[in-house]
Structure formats: C-alpha cells, structure tokens
C-alpha cells in the first residue's frame, strides 16, 4: 500500500487525534476531495475516505459509485484509522461505511465526520466541499475585540423549521434577517442545526455532528444565512450537544461493534431519561472529535458562540439516577471528573483560538464556578443560563395578583446570587412545551390583564441585570405551545394585544441598546441599586441601573392591577428624569391613561439611602423606565 493510496495520510497524521490534541479533525477524517500523484499518470483527483474503527476486522466504503457493493479501506499503520483513495469521485458522491466487527458481523454506518447528509429518513453521507466566499470580515474582526459582558445582548431563540414552515436557509437569509433586525435583537440562537433523523427531537439527538441538517438546504446555504446575519449586525449562537447522542444503529453508537464513542458500562454510558448514549470524555479520541466539532462550527461556519446543552447531565455521575445505578469517581464523589476536564479543555481552547467567541452553559444546578476562568479553577464558560431566575419569575407570573404579595421574594431572590456567575436570563423553548403552556396562557385572568402583565414582565426582565433570551413566538404572545410541525401563528400579530406586545419588544431592544446603564455593568455590583426591594404590599419593585459614565436608568414595575399614583421613590440625583418607556402606552395596546407626561422631576431631598426623591405614576400591571443623563 503506497502513501498515496491512503489519499496522502500517514500514521503521523493521527498522533494528535490519539493524544486528544488534534482539534481540526475534519481535515483528516471523513471524505475529502484530494489530488494525489499517480506513478504513471501524474496528478489524479478523487475522494479520500478515512474512518476511525480500531476494533474492526475490515472496513469498506459503499456508495452510488460502486452500486453499494463495497470498496475496501486499508488500515493506516499504527492509527486505528482505515483509509482509501478512489479516483474519479467528486462532490455529491453518496456513501456509507460497512464495518466488519471482531465477531464477523457487518454494520452499515454513516460517516461520523460527514459534512453533508441525505435528508431524513434517508441518511447516506454526501461528499461536500465548501466553495463559499465570506463577506463578514469586518464582523469577525470586531468579534475578536469584543467585550461581551459589557455589551448589549438580547437573543432571539429560533427553531428554523418552525419559524415559518417550509422556508430554506436561503429564504431565511431574507425573511428572518429582516425580521430580527426590525425587532432589534443583537443575536439569534439556533436550536441545533446538526443533522438529526427525528424532527420532534428539535435537533438535540444528533447523528451528524459535522453535517448541517439538509432539511433547509446545503451547508453553503447555511453559511450564506449566517453571513447575511453578520452583515445585518446580528450575532449567531448555535446550540451544541456534546452531552449525549442517539442509539440509531447506523450512527455513532457501537460504531465498530464496540463502545467506541460512548462508555461501555450502562451506568456511565446511557441516559435513561432520554434513551441515549453518553460520550466517553476520558477517551482522547472522543475529546479530539468533540473539541474539533466545536471549533468546526466557529471556524467553518463563522458561528459566534455555542450554547452547550444539558451541562448538568455532564457534570454529575448520578444525574437522574437512583442509588446503585451510577459509578462514583476515583475520590468516591458524584462529579464526573472526565467531563469537567473536557469542558475546561473545550472552553479554554476555543477562547484561545477564537477570541470573542461566546461559550454559554445551560446548567441548572448550583455547581460552583461555571463562568470562572479555567486558570482560576472554573469551568471557563463565558455565560450561564440563570435557571433559578427563570423558575422563580415564572412561578410569580402564574400567581393571581392578590397572592403575589406573599411570594414577593420570588422576584428579588436572584439578586442574592447575581454576581456569582455571568448570567443570561432565559425564556426559552423549554418553557412553552410539554404541557407547560404558552407564556400568555401562564398568566391568570382576562386578556387585558394577560397582555399588560406580559408587557410588565418583559420590561422587568429587560431591565434586570443579565443578558436576555426569548424564544420565537413569545414576542407576539402566541397562544398555543410550540409545535415544530407547524409555523408560528404569525397572523395574530395583526390583532389587538399581540401586535402591541410585538411593538413593545422592538422598543425594549432599541431602548436597551441605546442605554449602556442597562447592560454595561451586568456582572458588577456597581451596576445595580435597589430603590425598593420590599414593597410586596403593592406588588412593586424598583431599582436603578448605572453605567461607568454616570448615566442612570430607574426602573419601576407594578405587578398589581391597581395603578401606583404619586408613588414615591428615591433617586441618585435631583432634576429632570425622562420617561423612556411606559408599557401602558397606546402603541403597545395599553390604556394610555397612566404616565408621567414624558418626564419626572426629582427634588434634592433624601429618601432612604438616596439623595433625591420623586413621585411617579406607574400603570396597573405596568412598567416605567426613567433616564437621567450624566452632566444634567
């Protein structure tokens, strides 16, 4: 076997793979169009196939080019990788690997490194080479200098198939981009776009980690969508699922007849809740595969960040397990030390390779130091979803207003731990599925109160310390739960209440972005001061947000159906305070009856710990924001 019959690969090429240090594995494994030297005919072009199957007895590539009968791959010496070069093949070639296990069984597997795949229910891998020329150099250069914690971030979470049913990546590059830009969000977050066979899994059960789903077009079409978002000034976050993978017999599971990517012991290797396999994070090749995959989306698709799904399930060996169903770590504890090391590795590596990238943990426990740097003993994420804030605030929202005074601490408690991590406040797809009801149907009483309460709640959320995330459809108060098989109910945005809420979101985003006091010091105690945290009797909360230049925004929210008239608050300075938001305004389908005629005048008389005081009107089930610029 000559070097060129392996398509240019040698055992040396896989040294980094075996020690876990190769983080660009897609350049070596999988299918690739290459040109090699033929001793008689000179340069010849074809496709190199390479797959890791160290325990296989033999491996073949089958495809449309050999009537699915098989061409043999050859073991690259000392690598556990099987490879071959087939002349004359090119882009668009369909293929799979046929693997003979040690006990003589034959398995048909899709390529773990496939860059493109057939549309479900078909599943063959497809040879694909990107020809895309990017136009977002300016965006990527700015990202490298970005200071995400001190910048505005409001994220629109999108399931591409359910936003508008039947739209392709190319359609979305027009329609989704213009809509998100109009709404004023800084980022979109795509639910997983890696290939998955079962649509109701929403992409969280991945069979093609390097393959964007073909449901909406080709990989370069997705590149175009991301490029257009960047050109519109919108960042792109993608959900990434390194916690588990499905058991489909044609995918990663028991890949060469043995537990290759997963733990062999079901107490370590299987998620009982989800019926999936768990990656073996202690295996160097698995670490190389996953870290390469994270870098692949960032480098090859210019994704700006990864939201890592189900981190809690990775951190704990006893996650959702009964006594006796899990194996303690070497110290007898419940922490998954190998997964912790893996998360630190991927976070550190991505931040070093791609400064400005966002690594976001969906982590639902109080595991310490999720967003602390790795060199300080943390996991090294940039942000963490604040699940505590979400659970508490939604519990409060569902209470009849008469009972809210007894649960006031649900809205104030998050400030007790606010500076322990860098938080994102999420109202995600998880809150509007599986019988939980849509956001509007969580709120009690009639439609007027439902919409007013939602407007107050979202202004409370947008002014609270932390970045924001909202699932699609919530911005216009969709009534049914999320269902991936149909479009959002866009027609309701023409109706009273729904349209007003949608217009409020646009103004929330634009006002938020225009006022650094609302975001610059999210993670610093200097950025937030309570005016009154204890007015449960009125269902009212008030605080001031500050920036580093002496600007202030005072935010007062009333979760009672009674207006607060001549409501006294303390403020950091006397003089004129401009009313920059009132959720009861007619444009938002509010009553327009309760406001401050555009401004509030504060007098220099002490109020509590504040040097000035003012009387404000706060609408029933409403919010008011007041701004005082520095130098006034």
Average pLDDT, integer, range 543-565: 97
CA quadruple 530, 534, 535, 540: dihedral, nearest 10: 50
Q: Same domain for 83 and 166?
A: no
pLDDT band at 632; cut points 50, 70, 90? low
Is 139 a domain residue?
no
Q: Same domain for 512 and 529?
A: no
Is 141 a domain residue?
no
pLDDT tens, position by position, 291-339: 999 999 999 999 999 999 999 999 999 998 888 899 999 999 999 999 9
Is 530 a domain residue?
yes
How many Å apart are CA 277 and CA 205, to the nearest integer?
Answer: 10
CA distances from 351 to 306, 490, 560 (A): 12, 38, 45
Is 225 a domain residue?
yes
* Length in residues, the chain: 632
Instruction: State the average pLDDT for the chain.
Output: 95
pLDDT tens, position by position, 263-304: 998 888 888 888 999 999 999 999 999 999 999 999 999 999
Domain end position, chosen among 518, 536, 556 = 518
Q: What is the CATH number of the domain that holds 576?
A: 2.60.40.1180
DSSP 146: -
Q: Same domain for 338 and 319?
A: yes
Q: Same domain for 512 and 531?
A: no
Is 138 a domain residue?
no
Average pLDDT, integer, range 510-535: 97
Q: What is the CATH number of the domain that holds 50?
A: 2.60.40.10
Query: And the tokens for 88?
Result: 């004359």
Q: Is the dihedral of CA 414, 419, 424, 428 positive or negative?
A: negative
**pLDDT over 70 for what percent of the chain?**
99
CA angle 561, 567, 572 (to 5 degrees): 130
* pLDDT at 630 exceeding the cut of 80: no
Contact 31, 114 (CB under 8 A): yes
Average pLDDT, integer, range 124-149: 97
Q: Same domain for 364 and 506?
A: yes
pLDDT tens, position by position, 585-610: 999 999 999 999 899 999 999 999 99
- H or E element at residue 320: none
Domain end position, chosen among 458, 488, 518 = 518
pLDDT tens, position by position, 421-448: 999 999 999 999 988 899 999 999 999 9
Which residue range(s) make up the domain with 84? 3-126
The residue among 84, 85, 76 whose CA lies nearest residue 18 is 76
* pLDDT at 204 exceeding the cut of 50: yes
- H or E element at residue 348: helix 337-353
Domain end position, chosen among 111, 126, 141 = 126
- H or E element at residue 565: strand 564-571
Q: What is the CATH number of the domain that holds 386?
A: 3.20.20.80
How many Å apart are CA 184 and CA 206, to the nearest integer?
Answer: 31
Q: Same domain for 121 and 184?
A: no
pLDDT band at 366; cut points 50, 70, 90? confident
Q: Same domain for 491 and 574?
A: no
pLDDT band at 3; cut points 50, 70, 90? very low
Q: Same domain for 166 and 242?
A: yes
Residues in contact with 252: Cβ distance below 8 Å, sequence separation at least 6, in sequence order:
112, 207, 245, 260, 261, 262, 277
CA angle 619, 621, 626 (to 5 degrees): 50
Is 504 a domain residue?
yes
Q: How many folded domains does the chain comprise? A: 3
Predicted local confidence at residue 2, as pLDDT:
46
Q: Same domain for 502 and 536?
A: no
Q: Same domain for 409 and 551?
A: no
Is 389 a domain residue?
yes
CA distances from 309 to 364, 484, 529, 534 (A): 11, 19, 33, 36
Q: Same domain for 382 and 325?
A: yes
Is 132 a domain residue?
no
Average pLDDT, integer, range 27-56: 92
Q: Same domain for 79 and 170?
A: no
Average pLDDT, integer, range 404-411: 97
**pLDDT over 90 for what percent of the chain?**
91
Predicted local confidence at residue 198, as pLDDT:
83
Catalytic residues: 309, 362
286: helix, strand or coil: helix
* pLDDT at 34 exceeding the cut of 80: yes
């Amino acid at each position: 076997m000559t070097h060129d019959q392996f398509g240019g690969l040698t055992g040396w090429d896989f040294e980094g793979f075996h020690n876990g240090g190769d983080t660009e594995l897609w350049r070596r494994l999988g299918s690739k169009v290459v040109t090699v030297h033929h001793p008689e005919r000179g340069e010849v072009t074809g496709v190199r196939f390479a797959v890791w199957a160290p325990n296989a007895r033999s491996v073949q590539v089958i495809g449309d080019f050999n009537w699915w009968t098989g061409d043999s791959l050859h073991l690259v010496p000392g690598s556990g990788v099987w490879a071959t070069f087939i002349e004359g093949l090119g882009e668009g070639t369909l293929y799979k690997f046929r693997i003979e296990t040690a006990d003589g069984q034959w398995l048909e597997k899709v390529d773990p490194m496939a860059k493109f795949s057939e549309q479900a229910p078909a599943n063959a891998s497809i040879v694909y080479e990107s020809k895309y020329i990017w136009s977002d150099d300016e965006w990527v250069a700015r990202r490298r200098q970005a200071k995400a914690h001190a910048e505005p971030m409001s994220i629109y979470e999108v399931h591409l198939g359910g936003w508008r049913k039947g739209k392709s990546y190319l359609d979305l590059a027009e329609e989704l981009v213009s809509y998100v830009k109009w709404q004023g969000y800084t980022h979109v977050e795509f639910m997983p776009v890696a290939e998955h066979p079962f649509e109701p899994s929403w992409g969280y059960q991945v069979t093609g980690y390097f393959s964007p789903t073909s449901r909406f077009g080709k990989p370069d079409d997705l590149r175009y969508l991301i490029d257009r978002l960047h050109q519109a000034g919108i960042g792109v976050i993608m959900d990434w699922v390194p916690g588990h993978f499905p058991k489909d017999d044609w995918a990663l599971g028991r890949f060469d007849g043995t537990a290759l990517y997963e733990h062999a012991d079901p107490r370590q290797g299987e998620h009982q809740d989800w019926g999936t396999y768990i990656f073996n994070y202690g295996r160097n090749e698995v670490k190389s595969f996953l870290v390469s995959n994270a870098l692949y989306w960032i480098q090859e698709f210019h994704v700006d960040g990864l939201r890592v799904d189900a981190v809690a399930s990775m951190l704990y060996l006893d996650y959702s397990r009964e006594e006796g169903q899990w194996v303690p770590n070497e110290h007898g504890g419940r922490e998954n030390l190998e997964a912790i090391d893996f998360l630190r590795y991927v976070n550190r590596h991505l931040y070093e390779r791609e400064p400005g990238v966002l690594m976001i943990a969906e982590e639902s426990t109080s595991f310490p130091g999720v967003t602390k740097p790795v060199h300080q003993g943390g996991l090294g994420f940039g942000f963490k979803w604040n699940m505590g804030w979400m659970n508490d605030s939604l519990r409060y929202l569902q209470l009849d207003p008469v009972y809210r005074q007894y649960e006031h601490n649900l809205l104030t408690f998050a400030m007790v731990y606010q500076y322990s991590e860098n938080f994102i406040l999420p109202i995600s797809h998880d809150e509007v599925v599986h019988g939980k009801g849509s956001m509007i149907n969580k709120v009690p009483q009639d439609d007027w109160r439902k919409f007013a309460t939602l407007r107050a709640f979202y202004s409370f959320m947008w002014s609270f310390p932390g970045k924001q995330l909202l699932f699609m459809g919530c911005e216009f108060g969709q009534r049914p739960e999320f269902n991936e098989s149909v479009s959002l109910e866009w027609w309701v945005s023409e109706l009273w209440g729904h349209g007003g809420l949608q217009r409020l979101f646009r103004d929330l985003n634009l006002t938020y972005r225009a006022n650094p006091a609302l975001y610059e010091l999210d993670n610093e105690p200097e950025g937030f001061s309570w005016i009154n945290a204890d007015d449960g009797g009125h269902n009212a909360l008030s605080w001031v947000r500050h920036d580093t230049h002496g600007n202030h925004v005072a935010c007062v929210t009333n979760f009672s159906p009674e207006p607060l008239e001549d409501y006294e608050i303390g403020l950091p300075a006397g003089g004129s305070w401009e009313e920059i938001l009132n959720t009861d305004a007619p444009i938002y389908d509010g009553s327009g009856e309760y406001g401050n005629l555009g401004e509030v005048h504060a007098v220099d008389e002490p109020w509590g710990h504040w040097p000035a005081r003012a009387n404000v009107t706060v609408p029933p089930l409403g919010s008011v924001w007041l701004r005082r610029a520095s130098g006034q």
